[in-house]
Structure 1
Amino acid sequence: MLTVGVIGATGYAGAELMRLLCRHPQVEKILAGSHSHVETPYSSVYPNFSKIFDFSCHDADISAFAAKCDVLFVSLPHGIASQHVTEAVLDQCVVIDLGADFRLHDSQVYENWYKTSHGNPQLLEKAVYGLSELHRKEVASTRLVANPGCYTTCSILIAHPLLAQGLIDPESLIIDAKSGVSGAGRSEKLGSLFCEVDGSIKPYGVATHRHTPEIEEQLSLTHSHGMKRSGVVVSFTPHLVPMNRGILATVYAKLKPGVTKRELEEAYSLSYADEPFIRLLPYGTFPETRWVKGSNYCDIGYTLDERTNRIVACGALDNLVKGAAGQAVQNMNIVFGLPEQTGLDAVPAFPL
């Protein structure tokens, strides 16, 4: 039985972690950490937890939590975890960081994209990128899991089989992705207000979005079969859509000469047929965010566009579950040798 800490428990991803952990059969005790709600009952911040988790929030001190917990989830804005997650913390507990601070293995790349210094660059080589379907063995033996971002999870899972089997031109990758507003977090932002978002859709971070190097690093590893961390360059454009939650990503890529529909089907089946949280749709059927909300599933569908000799592949997931909290719990299960679906077996909720 595990004692679990959640730093940043009152953000959207933190609240989703709390929801999943409260029903996890191997979690005995949960400590909720929040800088802004210290000594406030958690169910006062989120009334949906009434009679489920009425305990008060603690000050979000990572070192203090580490001394009390088997595993510590850190769900904070970038630049904070790297300052406070240290070797001493990792000696006391496993850390699963839902932020960006340990996802990139080159501190200079991190600093260039995030415009802040990295507090503990020596830990980057110890961190394991926690995309379970790609790095399960490495996750099982680490003390520091870098939980992927939501856009990146969806984009990488779609493109990985195509690069792994050498079916596409890696220079032709274009990723067009849409996200619900919860992806922007719970803090007040003008661009997230109802009147700013409702009835509209907009691109943002065009050619500059911080998930880009994360996607490129992981797909480069796939393309080079783990031998290097550079090579694949993508055009990635995210969009904000007026819904609470969900990610839909569409990947376009030029197929190598002679690639057939059967080869595409075999590539996806080889990668994912036995994966519990990836649902491959029948050829020519495409995913919708409404069928994955509230779940840890990623649905993938694709087609071969013979006219242009491109593949068009789409993926959908819940940005707060498979794109954040659910994937973090999946990683916890792997680290502690638990069945991977433990606490994550909920059927997607509809309508939601």
Structure 2
Amino acid sequence: MIRVALIGSTGYTALEVARLLLAHPQAELTVATSRSDEGKPLAEIHPFLTGRSNVALQPFDAAKIAEQADVAMCCLPHGASAQSVRELAAAGVRVIDFSADFRLSSVPLYEHWYGVTHPWPERIGNVVYGMPEFFADQIATADVVANPGCYPTSAIMPLAPLVREGLIETNDIIVDSKSGVSGAGRSAKLGTLYCETNESIAAYAIAAHRHGPEMEDLVHRIAGTPVEILFTPHLTPMDRGILSTIYVRPTLSVGDTTESVQSKLSDALRRAYEGQPFVHVVDHLPATKHVKMTNHVQMTVRVSGEPTTPGRAVIVCAIDNLSKGASSAAIQNMNVMFGLDETSGL
């Protein structure tokens, strides 16, 4: 049985990890930490767990956690997470980090976008990105895994195979994403209050969101080609889910038609994810309800233009931001790290 520690246990992603572990046949939650609520039952913080978990919150102590857990799910904010990850790894605990502290490939890129000095800079660029569809072999032996961002998951997964095959222009990619309010976390903020978000949709951080560089960085790493992505996120009045609408220009050959280009792009995505249990290239238009509370990804392609003059391609991708965008992706990574079937508990 894999023993799992939750580091930073009060947020939505931590609750989602705990919920998934309740149904996991080969893993159990043995430790939960909190800096502000130590001593309290985890079920008091998350009433959903009442009668289902007897774990009490304890202070962070890497050595003690190493005695109680084989792997830690670190659900701390960026900046605060890296030091805890470093201590856990030194104590022999394998770590899946939910923050952005190890996702990017260079220290200057990280420090520019996150505005903090990285406490473990020698590991930047040397931590595997937790997307088993591309990095399973590295994840299997990793001591630290950088769990992907939620918005980036919805963009990287459709874009990387198409860029890798040279099927789309790399300097004209627009990612327009809508997210449920849970993506902003559990802490009280004016912009996520009910009266602010109900019956409203709003763009934010235009051309300035930290997940934009993550999308570019990872597509480059996977496909081997640099890309330019204009990313615009929106907050929508729903609890959970992400729908990304991605606009690209196909690279065209003589004789291409709108139908042939659409088939070419769809076939490339199907080839890329053949045998992957959680990624589905579909004919219908994906919606967030189609993937709610699952580790599944749905994507589809449409091409604009007249029959013989293809225009832009539009890719629609749906994930659950708390699941494939965070916690169930972490469980998938844990399964790979410990040699289990990727779908175990999912």
Instruction: Answer yes or no: same fold by TM over 0.5.
Output: yes
Provide the C-alpha distance between the structure 2 equivalents of 1:29 and 1:327, rounded to a whole number of angstroms.
17
Question: Once the two structures are superposed, what CA deviation does each residue of 1:248-283 show, in whole Å capped at 9, x if it has no partner?
Answer: 00111001113523311220111112110112112x
Distance 1:88 1:13, change over 3 A: closer
Provide the C-alpha distance between the structure 1 equivalents of 2:132 and 2:88, rounded to a whole number of angstroms.
26
Alpha-carbon contact 2:85-2:97 (below 8 Å) kept: no
Equivalent AA in structure 1 for residue 281 of structure 2: L
What is residue 238 of structure 2 aligned with on the other side? 243
- Paired residues for 1:102-251 under 5 Å: 102-224=102-224, 231-251=226-246
Distance 1:243 1:193, change over 3 A: same
Alpha-carbon contact 1:151-1:247 (below 8 Å) kept: yes
Matched residue SS, 2:15:
helix
> Cα offset for 1:28?
4.0
TM-score by length of structure 2 reads 0.94
> Cα offset for 1:42?
1.3
What is residue 287 of structure 1 aligned with on the other side? 286
Unaligned runs of 5+ in 2: none
Matched residue SS, 1:286:
coil
Question: Once the two structures are superposed, what CA deviation does each residue of 1:14-70 show, in whole Å capped at 9, x if it has no partner?
Answer: 110111112211114421111222111111111211111132111234453234311
Q: Which moved more, 1:104-113 or 1:56-65?
A: 56-65
Distance 1:88 1:321, change over 3 A: closer
Alpha-carbon contact 2:5-2:31 (below 8 Å) kept: yes
RMSD value, Cα: 1.5
TM-score by length of structure 1 reads 0.92
Distance 1:3 1:223, change over 3 A: closer
Equivalent AA in structure 2 for residue 136 of structure 1: A
Q: Which moved more, 1:166-175 or 1:20-29?
A: 20-29
Unaligned runs of 5+ in 1: 226-230, 345-352
Provide the C-alpha distance between the structure 2 equivalents of 1:64 and 1:198, rounded to a whole number of angstroms.
44
Alpha-carbon contact 2:62-2:91 (below 8 Å) kept: no
Distance 1:116 1:45, change over 3 A: same
Which stretches of structure 1, 4 residues or more, deviate above 4 A after TM superposition?
none
What is residue 228 of structure 1 aligned with on the other side? none
Distance 1:46 1:91, change over 3 A: closer
Equivalent AA in structure 2 for residue 314 of structure 1: V
Provide the C-alpha distance between the structure 2 equivalents of 1:337 and 1:105, rounded to a whole number of angstroms.
26
Distance 1:219 1:24, change over 3 A: same
Equivalent AA in structure 1 for residue 47 of structure 2: P
- Paired residues for 1:1-352 under 5 Å: 1-86=1-86, 89-90=89-90, 92-224=92-224, 231-258=226-253, 260-282=261-283, 285-307=284-306, 309-344=311-346
> Cα offset for 1:305?
1.4
Q: How many residues align?
A: 337
Alpha-carbon contact 1:9-1:18 (below 8 Å) kept: no
Q: Which moved more, 1:63-72 or 1:211-220?
A: 63-72
Provide the C-alpha distance between the structure 2 equivalents of 1:328 and 1:286, rounded to a whole number of angstroms.
27
Percent of matched pairs sharing the same residue: 40
Provide the C-alpha distance between the structure 1 equivalents of 2:315 and 2:197, rounded to a whole number of angstroms.
27
Provide the C-alpha distance between the structure 2 equivalents of 1:168 and 1:222, rounded to a whole number of angstroms.
15
Provide the C-alpha distance between the structure 2 equivalents of 1:51 and 1:2, rounded to a whole number of angstroms.
21
Alpha-carbon contact 2:266-2:301 (below 8 Å) kept: no
Alpha-carbon contact 1:66-1:89 (below 8 Å) kept: no
Matched residue SS, 2:82:
helix
Alpha-carbon contact 2:66-2:88 (below 8 Å) kept: no
What is residue 350 of structure 1 aligned with on the other side? none
Distance 1:63 1:248, change over 3 A: farther
Provide the C-alpha distance between the structure 2 equivalents of 1:90 and 1:107, rounded to a whole number of angstroms.
21
Q: Which moved more, 1:81-90 or 1:26-35?
A: 81-90
Equivalent AA in structure 2 for residue 195 of structure 1: C
Distance 1:91 1:35, change over 3 A: closer
Question: Once the two structures are superposed, what CA deviation does each residue of 1:70-118 show, in whole Å capped at 9, x if it has no partner?
Answer: 1011001110121232276245111000110000120111000001110
Matched residue SS, 2:135:
helix
Alpha-carbon contact 2:32-2:57 (below 8 Å) kept: yes
Provide the C-alpha distance between the structure 2 equivalents of 1:28 and 1:15, rounded to a whole number of angstroms.
14
Equivalent AA in structure 1 for residue 165 of structure 2: Q
Alpha-carbon contact 1:204-1:240 (below 8 Å) kept: yes
